[in-house]
Amino acid sequence: MNYPNGKKPIMPLARQTNSKEISFGNRGMTLEEDINETNTYYLSRNKAIIHKKPTPVQIVRVDYPKRSAAVIKEGYFKQASTTDYNGIYREKYVDFEAKETKNKTSFPLSNIHEHQINHMKSVCEHGGICFLIIRFSQHDETYFFPAMKLFPYWESQFNGGRKSIPYKDVQRIGNLIPFHYQARVDYLSIIDHLYF
């Protein structure tokens, strides 16, 4: 196959690997990319409508080095963002935050902000399904962690408790999200199991 300009694509040499080295995990994608792909799959199958929330930004200064290109030089967040994703599934409001950590032994609570916790509490109080998706990149594992289980850890850090959730607790309390090629982070299967 050739590109439209008539040139042949340059193909990298195939690297031989030991079958034990092959990982069927996220294959280099970030958690956000995996969730976006999953949400696109859900939408294409009419399973759910879940979208990433845009972060409201106020653009202050823009430079135009060329007529065809604008470069944003200065901008500010208009307001504190809430969580990353929201939408509807099986007539229920769904709202969640996605976090990735390279830490092997725990999930640092510093990855979450107080205004996000307050938002998640409001969602839970109004009957919505609210949770964290946590990826431990060093373990190549992704977990569904219900917001109601997160709140005690959050409060405990202000009373002399840990400032993180131990990896073992995430394994015990959370639900490992299965990896699939089409629904890379199939969190709806966990929601079905826990809520329906």
Binding site: what residues are annotated? 82, 84, 97, 116
Binding residues for Mg(2+): 82, 84, 97, 116
Place of tokens 């879940």: 50
DSSP 96-149: EEEEEE--SSEEEGGGS-HHHHHHHHHHHHTT-EEEEEEEETTTTEEEEEEHHH
Burial of 96 (0-12, 13-18, 19+ CB in 10 A): buried
Residues 170, 175, 178: CA angle, nearest 5 degrees: 125
